[in-house]
Structures are given as structure tokens and as C-alpha cells.
Amino acid sequence: MGSVAHYLEVRAPAEQCYQWWRPLTHVPEIFPDVQRVEPRSAEADTTHWVVSGPAGRKVEWDARIVEDEPGRKIAWKSVEQDTEKSNTVSTAGAVRFDDHGDSTGVEVSLQYDAPGGGVGEAVATLFADPQQKVERALDSFKELMENNKQGR
């Protein structure tokens, strides 16, 4: 299993940062490989992720929020579907918000484990150079928050 994390300071209140992340549906705005994240339940604790893979192939999975501390932290983890385990993408993520008054320390951490076969190849391509992807995503998030372009 691979993992990556990145932390940066954003000139925006922690609650504003948390509210942007909480539905997870905004993730495609900062991660170009993520095509969409859609709620699967009325409470939006379960989401369906569609991500671009190699040669136009899509990789999809469902994730459930496993930890939710308003204004402080959101964590999610993929859930197995009624498919063979080899076709299941195993991934988890968390965003932590450190309230510093007028600014917030934001840390994004991701874990991933690619299955075998064609899906595994697509997931491996998706997670190619994950550190750079997370750093770019957080830079984009910082720009959105600091320019008050919340994409809502």
C-alpha cells in the first residue's frame, strides 16, 4: 500500500475549509484525474468516485466517511462492493484542519492499494507521482479559498 501526505497554510478560517471538503463532491475541482464524486446516500456519508485512468479507461469505487469532526477532520475509506476483491480499489483519505484563527493548516493524506489485472494497471497510472498530485491539489485548494472562489 502506498501513502502520501502534504500540509500547507491557507488564509481562510478552518470552518470554511472544512465546509468545502465535507461533501467530498468538490474534489474534482482540485484533482484533475477525478471526474466526479457523487453522493450515494441522503446524508452524503457514502460517495461514488469516477476517476480517469489510462487510455480513457475509468476507475470507479464507493467510499464512506469514517471520521467526521466538524472544522477539524474528515476521513473516508473505500468500501467493497459485491464484486471480486481483485476488482476493488482500496483507498483511504483524510483532511485535517488546524485552526490558527485567520488561517488554517490543511493536511491531506491518501493511502492506496492497487488490485491486480487491468483495474490494477489503471489505478497504478492514476496514482503515478501521487506526491506531486496532492501538492498541486492543495495549491489549487489554497487558491480557491484565498480568492473566495468556493465553487458552490
pLDDT tens figures, 62-118: 999 999 999 999 999 998 755 544 346 788 999 999 999 999 999 999 988 765 555
Residue 80's alpha-carbon distances to 61, 62, 88, 130, in angstroms, are 8, 8, 6, 23
Q: Beta-carbon neighbour count of residue 61 at 10 Å?
A: 21
CA distance 122 to 119: 5
State percent of the chain over pLDDT 70: 80
CA distance 14 to 97: 6
CA distance 54 to 57: 6
| 30 and 141 Cβ atoms separated by less than 8 Å | yes
Q: Which three cell numbers stand for residue 19?
A: 465546509
Predicted pLDDT of residue 86: 39
- Confidence label for 119 from pLDDT (cuts 50, 70 and 90): low
Residue 8's alpha-carbon distances to 23, 138, 141, in angstroms, are 21, 7, 10
Residue 36's alpha-carbon distances to 1, 44, 61, 140, in angstroms, are 24, 14, 11, 17
E-assigned strand segments in the chain: 2-10, 34-39, 46-52, 58-69, 73-79, 90-99, 104-113
Domains of the chain by residue range: 2-149
CA distance 20 to 28: 12
The architecture that CATH gives domain 2-149 is 2-Layer Sandwich (3.30)
pTM of the model: 0.84
